[in-house]
Structure 1
């Protein structure tokens, strides 16, 4: 049998019906309450009924997958958990968002637009896979670019959850308790919302989720005794990593090399009979992937340039605490402690990491007692193989690249999620476990998921606005781009004008190819201490906006900018008085207003 039953066989149908019904009602409520304007927080604006439905559904799925002993009940829990994960990550689409994007995501919209226009892949494109996939989906389904871009995240999240499930089940001799891997995957441990990857479409996010597929196939090569079909799929899957994101490919090279090295040079780890070709498969995979990474870095200047910049920073001895101190200073300005952010981001990761650590210790103790199995052997192998990845993380940390450090840590968390799923399943299938222990495990999983959820989308919970782009904002920018005077440049208070222009015209045109001016020629140059030259100075230098420019300039004020400045940052950058000064300035004319987007013409005074 599958261990201690927590749900009587005759009652699991009631639990299943309750979960599916709650999920349906919750998603219907979200669909029937589309966003009417810019939403500062997707959590606050999504109906409470939706959140109640998702909580009931994930609780029911956990109870069915872990608490039930009947196979069909576990299959039902597996399906319910998968639907919950997809529904949560697809909330921007369900809520009718026009686009869910910040910074680089606009560029990915532009690249996709270029491909749809028949332009070839540019040499400056670091990661073409998401754009090629998006283009093919759009051509087949006749969907919009925005819809497909937003749907890529839930699609790859489901791939991640399914691969955690498949890998965990492949590592265990028992095939009981279907759904544990999906439930662990639902915590989305690799997501780092403050630093990439985050829960919006970026190639890095997709690549981190895709990595689980490579690990799953590698595990099948081990358990399948080197079956040629598994080997073929494994090697075919490697090039996708490179074109999804070279950084994840580099980390995968280190991981696969670690697996091969441990199998070859640490015989004490291999105490049981294992496929003799497994070491060769992992080592060859590392070599092939490393070669593909090298070719990509040579053939694509952008990849080689990015690597070169990191190497220069390492040689220059940049203070590794610089990134941390900068962020600490920014947070303290708005009265927030860095430790508060760390606690919100990492509590769920620590909880899952603890489960993974317990599993690793169990595997180590079992192995040292000579009672090891292929399960414990591969758990220890994968754990030790993370050391080269942690080494890469330490190198980029020494260069002061905090964002790269967190990206490598996200890859480590992918493997730890798999290990945690194995440990939970192993715990559950032990017949000695009491009902109370199994119930406690269910509660722990649900609690971890609920703690993780508020930090997956950017929101005021993490002192950021949701990257919601309204249709009125996009129409406002389109109107400005099409009708602007060619000798008048564009400035803003905080929104990224160049990113919007790239998304509208495509990367090729935005860089100055074709009949349009480049972004550099279109954007204003304003004297201020801001990060971008087209940003107006904070509070307009405590004076009228027209006194801050030297040439005629368009000033764009999307609804999102005003809400973020006044409601989230409480006047830190601009106050209500700052915005009121626009209407008091005699040298400013309102040219366009749609309720959610306003364009002004500012003449120098």
Structure 2
């Protein structure tokens, strides 16, 4: 392709991204949106689709500077998609842990909490700084923080692949797979203000430092005391990851420890191997492990997390199998299935995982032409998946949420390996068809996976989980409800405990903060509520019931009245047991008299 034509194509791609952002910005959310995809104008999606089509094609076909521009175009487009809550002026997004993180950030801004008093203060500290420096609300600052911590994933995955392989094709394919955002599974990892998920996107920075340390051995780069600059980068990036979320730091320690163990075994087994020329990672694994233990051992949250895993291992009714069975039964009642949900959430991940697994097996059996240096790095990362998989097995039995978080980390590693694997797949196809034909086939397959991955990067009714968009009306409604409510009267919701809003609005560093359950649970009993027994639906006591547009969308439209029916909600309006005391269009609160 002639240079002028190619540059014109790139210009069109960047103009498309700019136009898509402009269309989205000119159409902000005016009320609660159950799907950011449906709420965003079609023109935006058309523009982003054009930009991604150009990015995929040029990342595969072009080399050198132009390949970098193509990767940059794709990175910019995916970043714009992830930034849609910011671009479309969402007040906030996230009603669970995200609200608690918002509360801690408010406490830091208000001087009620020092960052070092938190177990993982990085997200809150960055949000505080952005809010203070930019003069923007804390909610918006945290949404921007989410984007800031996401970008390193898109930037460093192709950089790691470049150090692992050096193949231009592998770099391009690695970049495309990173755009699928496979670490997000919307079971336990999410695109939002969720520190564990935010930490996943920083992991490639640490992996880049490790790979660069192993590969680049110039003596003139040494610092005093014989330290490599990349050793310093490993320690600094490891500490940064620890402060974002310690669980992912544990996985990095296991990863580096596995590399160190492979090096030790290679030195005992081989006389001539690329691994023998790599500097050892023994000290790095030990130092990172000690840093983690020093930070975590005395922390109560860490001890509680360990206790919950141990309890789950021995409890008969805890585990991913139990949870999957419960989800399958609920989905069947509303016309869905686990198979359908698997396709939406995990099909692209399963395809990439299968490609990587077959490639690694073929490489170890000597069926591929891989340079010895590249094979060494692939072996490092592939063998590290064994202990990481062992941790996954423990989590799977003990705590399902932790299991799916572990899958998120594993897919960070698989995303890196996918660049090399898909490049060899395309090369293999080139022996049966022309090389351009092989590239076209792989590009189409990756494009389909990319579309599926980006369609599920945010929650939406497509995966039976409406978006957790928090509007101004919801915030103002909860603020009024907490300020004017009687102190001895608990708050309850429909399948959702309102205490998180108390965290988000007022922080957690005060005496009267609501706990994780106002009495025993913050949810009204669906059976009694559905039968019209509003007085007895919440432990028989007087209570406040909050109903938001999010609740109605989830229970009526998405869950199809599985737990709470539209008729029972309508009858609540005229019930003598309930008195509507707050209403603003998207938020209603009822004072309900109990039976006791």
> What TM-score do you get using the length of structure 1 for normalisation?
0.89
Q: Aligned residue for 2:224?
A: none
The whole-number CA distance in structure 2 between the counterparts of 1:186 and 1:284 is 34
Q: Aligned residue for 2:513?
A: 518
Q: Aligned residue for 1:580?
A: 570
Q: Is the 8 A contact 1:544 1:582 kept in 2?
A: no
Q: Aligned residue for 1:388?
A: 387
The whole-number CA distance in structure 2 between the counterparts of 1:332 and 1:126 is 40
The whole-number CA distance in structure 2 between the counterparts of 1:374 and 1:291 is 30
The whole-number CA distance in structure 2 between the counterparts of 1:270 and 1:95 is 60
1:411 to 2:409 alignment: yes
The whole-number CA distance in structure 2 between the counterparts of 1:333 and 1:185 is 35
Q: Aligned residue for 1:294?
A: 293
The whole-number CA distance in structure 2 between the counterparts of 1:524 and 1:541 is 21
The change in CA–CA distance for 1:174 and 1:558 in structure 2 (over 3 A counts) is closer
Q: Aligned residue for 1:441?
A: 442
CA offsets, 1:487-537, max 9 Å, x none?
33322223331000011110112xxx2xxx23149x7548xxxxx244353
SS in 2 for 1:545: coil
Runs of 5+ unmatched residues, structure 1: 1-6, 527-531
Q: Aligned residue for 2:61?
A: 67
SS in 2 for 1:590: strand
Q: How does 1:233-382 map to 2 (within 5 A)?
A: 233-267=233-267, 272-274=273-275, 276=277, 278-279=279-280, 282-316=281-315, 320=319, 321-361=321-361, 363-365=363-365, 372-382=371-381
The change in CA–CA distance for 1:598 and 1:146 in structure 2 (over 3 A counts) is same
The change in CA–CA distance for 1:203 and 1:548 in structure 2 (over 3 A counts) is closer
The change in CA–CA distance for 1:271 and 1:466 in structure 2 (over 3 A counts) is farther
The whole-number CA distance in structure 2 between the counterparts of 1:487 and 1:406 is 39
The whole-number CA distance in structure 1 between the counterparts of 2:310 and 2:16 is 52
The whole-number CA distance in structure 1 between the counterparts of 2:29 and 2:495 is 22
The change in CA–CA distance for 1:47 and 1:326 in structure 2 (over 3 A counts) is same
Q: Aligned residue for 1:598?
A: 588
Q: Is the 8 A contact 1:198 1:456 kept in 2?
A: yes
The whole-number CA distance in structure 1 between the counterparts of 2:318 and 2:45 is 43
The whole-number CA distance in structure 1 between the counterparts of 2:314 and 2:488 is 43
Shift of 1:111: 0.8
Q: Is the 8 A contact 2:154 2:175 kept in 1?
A: yes
Segment drifting more, 315-324 vs 202-211: 315-324
Q: Aligned residue for 2:478?
A: 477
Shift of 1:116: 0.9
The whole-number CA distance in structure 2 between the counterparts of 1:259 and 1:402 is 27
Q: How does 1:47-58 map to 2 (within 5 A)?
A: 47-58=41-52
Question: Number of residue pairs matched?
Answer: 581
SS in 1 for 2:589: strand
Q: Aligned residue for 1:36?
A: 30
The change in CA–CA distance for 1:108 and 1:133 in structure 2 (over 3 A counts) is same
The change in CA–CA distance for 1:491 and 1:60 in structure 2 (over 3 A counts) is same
**Which residue, 14, 26, 31 being the options, matches 1:20?**
14
Q: Aligned residue for 1:535?
A: 524
Shift of 1:33: 1.4
Segment drifting more, 532-541 vs 591-600: 532-541
> What TM-score do you get using the length of structure 2 for normalisation?
0.91
The change in CA–CA distance for 1:475 and 1:387 in structure 2 (over 3 A counts) is same
The change in CA–CA distance for 1:393 and 1:548 in structure 2 (over 3 A counts) is closer
Segment drifting more, 82-91 vs 562-571: 562-571
Shift of 1:25: 2.3
The change in CA–CA distance for 1:340 and 1:175 in structure 2 (over 3 A counts) is closer
Q: Aligned residue for 1:92?
A: 85
Q: Is the 8 A contact 1:262 1:381 kept in 2?
A: yes
Q: What is the CA RMSD across the aligned residues, in angstroms?
A: 2.7
CA offsets, 1:16-48, max 9 Å, x none?
233223222222221111112111122222211
1:147 to 2:148 alignment: no
The whole-number CA distance in structure 1 between the counterparts of 2:460 and 2:501 is 21
Q: Is the 8 A contact 2:334 2:559 kept in 1?
A: yes
Segment drifting more, 312-321 vs 284-293: 312-321
The change in CA–CA distance for 1:222 and 1:175 in structure 2 (over 3 A counts) is farther
Segment drifting more, 312-321 vs 288-297: 312-321
CA offsets, 1:225-252, max 9 Å, x none?
2751111111222222222222212222
Shift of 1:427: 6.5
SS in 2 for 1:601: strand
Q: Aligned residue for 1:421?
A: 419
The whole-number CA distance in structure 1 between the counterparts of 2:171 and 2:145 is 25
The whole-number CA distance in structure 2 between the counterparts of 1:95 and 1:20 is 20
CA offsets, 1:168-216, max 9 Å, x none?
11122445786543322101111111x2111112111111111111101
Q: Aligned residue for 1:129?
A: 122
Q: Is the 8 A contact 1:525 1:534 kept in 2?
A: no
Q: Is the 8 A contact 1:101 1:201 kept in 2?
A: yes
The change in CA–CA distance for 1:502 and 1:40 in structure 2 (over 3 A counts) is same
The whole-number CA distance in structure 1 between the counterparts of 2:346 and 2:171 is 27
Segment drifting more, 324-333 vs 576-585: 324-333
Shift of 1:441: 2.2
Segment drifting more, 488-497 vs 54-63: 488-497
1:452 to 2:453 alignment: yes
SS in 1 for 2:279: helix
SS in 2 for 1:508: coil
SS in 2 for 1:190: coil
SS in 1 for 2:202: helix
The change in CA–CA distance for 1:225 and 1:15 in structure 2 (over 3 A counts) is same
Runs of 5+ unmatched residues, structure 2: 222-227
The change in CA–CA distance for 1:318 and 1:574 in structure 2 (over 3 A counts) is closer
Shift of 1:429: 8.4
